[in-house]
């Protein structure tokens, strides 16, 4: 079985976690974390690389290369196996409890012979922790709360839900006159697909006043921590929100600090030191005189570090700092680059709105083209027929006259069966302008079967794009297991686009797949899969995935004019 960069990165991350629990030097732990990110972000496939190739990956030294080599050759990393054997599985759950890190977890485990969350709860019930040096009654209470929080919100919250909540909180704070600037930060500003806790940054000359106003907001529940510049609360629904307040002159530096990621901050702070500067949330300072040289905006801080402003979705220490310093940051795609939507539904199948409403709303988006792609009859629940789908053409032709500035495309979302076949014969398919094919069932086939079926669908000259390629639904359904490198290579070979589905519970492809596929030269589509007019606003989530995957508009089919879209379709059909 091929070994992907992601596979290797996952193992290195696991090594880091297990080493941390085992009490190893934190810098060694960080070395593994850094290596994992570097491998995941590396442009070339690690499988089949020679030793020199592996050593060419940034932050990979001799020791790391040997371990990666071992895994590529044998499928295992013996040190990892040993650590796994030494550390009970339950122990690893302990350090995921908020407030409990590797140090305390290890002390507790050793002193009380505890290795599961259940045993920990029991020990706290008997107040056994407070007898350990450095721990006390408060620690016991906090750990219990942490466990409760983990169980309630163990799954991270979807970005759209977090964003709505953050916007509501910020709206509530706007009436506070002490607030000068306010913005989301953290993983939410970086637009990760799921969010652990919400970070909000404000600038003010009266930090206390801002925090008072914040704590009085209706949706704020219990206060976890409260200091002079920072407080953490749980909302009534159990979501953690951190508010940090800084003086307005430090806004830019604070925004960088609070946006993260942690790894990105570590990287640019290291860079600052090399320039005899030090960076914290209050600004960029000269190391010797402590004079502040930049702080007011993010732009001036990055500029003083010798690089242009880095868009937040890139700030993951995935090579963006090096790219910025070298002047090779991607010219990132943005929402207004999109000229069309290539995956949408109507109430002919499972959409909620009639075609007229969908098309009208699409025209108001200012799109150049718009594809109506209802489900084909391979999905039995849809009660649709070939005749009904073909008849939709007449409605589209009539609507086209009403909306002359937007070209309507008649399409379908086909269903990929077990063998990779789709709903209709070639002659029927040829009567449509644009065809997505998607997996809607058989989610548990083997990796080989899934890979084969997707590639077979891409071989079809009338399949122009694969819709929501992994079929995952965040928090509800795992992605299907296919070999991403094989699928990406086949997409390029067959001239088939891969969709970035904007639905917040799909976000499929995900950004690290996008980044890898980009290196293969894959063409992408970014489509809403809208089932109602409201779903058009989900475009922001698809764009976020594309940005996190370093995409430029030239890599996305529906950023191109209609003529180029038609050429793409024609090329595929000529195969």
Is 59 a residue that touches DNA (CB under 7 A)? Answer: yes
Pick between residue 123 and residue 359 the one whose CB is nearest to DNA.
123
Is 58 a residue that touches DNA (CB under 7 A)? Answer: yes
Is 27 a residue that touches DNA (CB under 7 A)? Answer: yes
Q: What is the CA radius of gyration of the chain?
A: 26
Q: Which of 10, 13, 84, 135: binder of DNA (CB under 7 A)?
A: 135
End-to-end CA distance of the chain: give it in Å, rounded: 30
Stretch that binds DNA, among 99-107, 114-122, 486-494, 551-559 (CB under 7 A): 99-107
Angstrom CA distances, 74 to 1, 2, 224, stand at: 11, 12, 47
Spatial separation of the C-alpha atoms in residues 158 and 120, rounded to whole Å:
29
Pick between residue 28 and residue 418 the one whose CB is nearest to DNA.
28
Q: How far is the CB of 512 from DNA (least distance, A)?
A: 20
Spatial separation of the C-alpha atoms in residues 216 and 238, rounded to whole Å:
16
Q: How far is the CB of 158 from DNA (least distance, A)?
A: 17
Pick between residue 283 and residue 411 the one whose CB is nearest to DNA.
283
Pick between residue 130 and residue 222 the one whose CB is nearest to DNA.
130
Q: Closest Cα to residue 199, out of 271, 256, 155?
A: 256
Q: Which of 36, 91, 100, 412: binder of DNA (CB under 7 A)?
A: 100
Give Cα 561 to chain centroid, integer Å.
28
Is 93 a residue that touches DNA (CB under 7 A)? Answer: no
> Which pair of structure tokens corresponds to residue 310?
């880095």
Is 545 a residue that touches DNA (CB under 7 A)? Answer: no
**Which of the residues 195 through 254 are near DNA (CB under 7 A)?**
196-197, 199, 225-231, 240, 242
Pick between residue 230 and residue 540 the one whose CB is nearest to DNA.
230
Pick between residue 263 and residue 300 the one whose CB is nearest to DNA.
263
Q: How far is the CB of 65 from DNA (least distance, A)?
A: 6
Q: Which helix (H) or strand (E) holds 139?
A: helix 137-153
Is 519 a residue that touches DNA (CB under 7 A)? Answer: no
Pick between residue 258 and residue 568 the one whose CB is nearest to DNA.
258
Question: What are the helix (H) ranges across 233-350?
Answer: 251-259, 262-274, 298-304, 320-325
Q: Which of 270, 306, 441, 521: binder of DNA (CB under 7 A)?
A: 270
In the beta sheet, which residues pair with residue 379? none
Stretch that binds DNA, among 134-142, 439-447, 525-533, 567-575 (CB under 7 A): 134-142
Contacts of residue 269, defined as CB under 8 A and 6 or more positions apart, other chains included, come to: 278, 279
Q: How far is the CB of 328 from DNA (least distance, A)?
A: 19
Pick between residue 130 and residue 394 the one whose CB is nearest to DNA.
130
Q: How far is the CB of 404 from DNA (least distance, A)?
A: 50
Work out the number of other CB atoms within 10 angstroms of the CB of residue 161: 15
Pick between residue 184 and residue 528 the one whose CB is nearest to DNA.
184
Spatial separation of the C-alpha atoms in residues 31 and 549, rounded to whole Å:
24
Spatial separation of the C-alpha atoms in residues 416 and 418, rounded to whole Å:
7
Stretch that binds DNA, among 85-93, 267-275, 318-326, 561-569 (CB under 7 A): 267-275
Q: In 455-474, which positions are buried (b, 16+ CB within 10 angstroms) versus exposed (e)?
A: bbbbebbbbbbbbbbbbbeb
Is 114 a residue that touches DNA (CB under 7 A)? Answer: no
Is 61 a residue that touches DNA (CB under 7 A)? Answer: yes
Is 28 a residue that touches DNA (CB under 7 A)? Answer: yes
Q: How far is the CB of 220 from DNA (least distance, A)?
A: 15
Map tokens 């008072």 to a residue.
212
How many residues sit in the footprint of DNA (CB under 7 A)? 62
Q: Which of 22, 116, 194, 280: binder of DNA (CB under 7 A)?
A: 280
> Which pair of structure tokens corresponds to residue 258?
């609070």
Q: Closest Cα to residue 149, out of 68, 90, 234?
A: 234
Spatial separation of the C-alpha atoms in residues 216 and 229, rounded to whole Å:
16
Q: Which of 22, 116, 194, 278: binder of DNA (CB under 7 A)?
A: 278
**Which of the residues 388 through 417 are near DNA (CB under 7 A)?**
none
Angstrom CA distances, 246 to 147, 178, 207, stand at: 31, 12, 7
Angstrom CA distances, 59 to 52, 262, 278, stand at: 13, 17, 22
Is 136 a residue that touches DNA (CB under 7 A)? Answer: yes
Which parts of this chain interact with DNA (CB under 7 A)?
25, 27-28, 30-32, 35, 58-65, 97-105, 130, 133-140, 142, 186, 196-197, 199, 225-231, 240, 242, 257-258, 260, 262, 265-266, 269-270, 272-273, 278-282
């Amino acid at each position: 079985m091929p070994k992907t960069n992601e596979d290797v990165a996952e193992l290195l991350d696991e090594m880091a976690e297990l080493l941390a629990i085992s009490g190893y030097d934190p810098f060694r732990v960080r070395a593994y974390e850094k290596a994992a990110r570097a491998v995941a972000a590396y442009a070339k496939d690690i499988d089949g690389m020679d030793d020199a190739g592996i050593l060419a990956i940034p932050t990979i030294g001799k020791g790391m290369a040997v371990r990666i080599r071992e895994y590529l050759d044998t499928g295992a990393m013996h040190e990892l196996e040993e650590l796994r054997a030494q550390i009970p599985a339950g122990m690893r759950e302990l350090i995921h409890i908020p407030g409990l890190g590797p140090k305390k977890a290890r002390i507790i485990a050793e002193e009380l012979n505890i290795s599961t969350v259940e045993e920990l709860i029991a020990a706290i019930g008997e107040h056994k922790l407070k007898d350990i040096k450095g721990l006390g009654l408060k620690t016991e209470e906090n750990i219990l709360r942490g466990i409760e929080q983990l169980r309630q919100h163990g799954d991270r919250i979807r970005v759209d839900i977090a964003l709505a909540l953050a916007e509501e909180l910020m709206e509530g704070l706007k009436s506070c006159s002490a607030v000068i600037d306010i913005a989301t930060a953290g993983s939410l500003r970086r637009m990760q697909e799921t969010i652990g806790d919400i970070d909000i940054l404000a600038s003010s000359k009266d930090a206390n006043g801002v925090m008072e106003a914040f704590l009085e907001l209706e949706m704020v529940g219990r206060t976890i921590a409260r200091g002079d510049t920072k407080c953490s609360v749980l909302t009534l629904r159990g979501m953690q929100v951190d508010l940090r307040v800084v003086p307005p002159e430090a806004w830019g530096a604070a925004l960088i600090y609070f946006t993260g990621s942690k790894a990105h901050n570590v990287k640019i702070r290291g860079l600052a030191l090399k320039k005899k500067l030090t960076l914290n949330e209050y600004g960029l300072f000269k190391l010797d005189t402590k004079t502040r040289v930049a702080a007011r905006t993010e732009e001036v801080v990055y500029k003083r570090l010798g690089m242009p402003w880095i868009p937040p979705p890139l700030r993951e220490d995935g090579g963006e700092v090096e790219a910025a310093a070298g002047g090779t940051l991607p010219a990132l795609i943005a929402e207004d680059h999109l000229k069309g939507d290539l995956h949408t539904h109507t109430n002919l199948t499972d959409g909620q709105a009639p075609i007229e409403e969908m098309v009208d709303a699409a025209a108001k988006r200012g799109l150049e083209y718009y594809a109506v792609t209802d489900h084909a009859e391979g999905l039995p629940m849809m009660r649709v027929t070939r005749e009904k789908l073909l008849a939709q053409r007449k409605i589209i032709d009539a609507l086209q006259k009403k909306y002359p500035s937007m070209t309507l495309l008649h399409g379908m979302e086909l269903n990929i069966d077990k063998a990779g076949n789709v709903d209709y014969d070639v002659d029927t398919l040829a009567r449509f302008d644009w065809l997505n094919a998607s997996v809607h069932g058989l989610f548990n086939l083997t990796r080989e079967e899934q890979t084969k079926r997707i590639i077979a669908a891409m071989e079809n000259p009338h399949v122009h794009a694969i819709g929501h390629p992994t079929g995952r639904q965040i928090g509800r359904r795992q992605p299907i297991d296919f070999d991403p490198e094989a699928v990406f290579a086949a997409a390029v070979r067959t001239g088939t686009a891969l969709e970035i589905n904007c639905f917040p519970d799909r976000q499929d492809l995900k950004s690290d797949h996008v980044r890898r596929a980009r290196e293969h030269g894959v063409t992408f589509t970014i489509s809403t899969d809208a089932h109602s007019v409201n779903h058009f606003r989900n475009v922001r989530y698809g764009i976020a995935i594309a940005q996190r995957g370093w995409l430029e508009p030239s890599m996305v089919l529906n950023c191109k004019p209609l003529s180029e879209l038609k050429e793409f379709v024609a090329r595929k059909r000529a195969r």
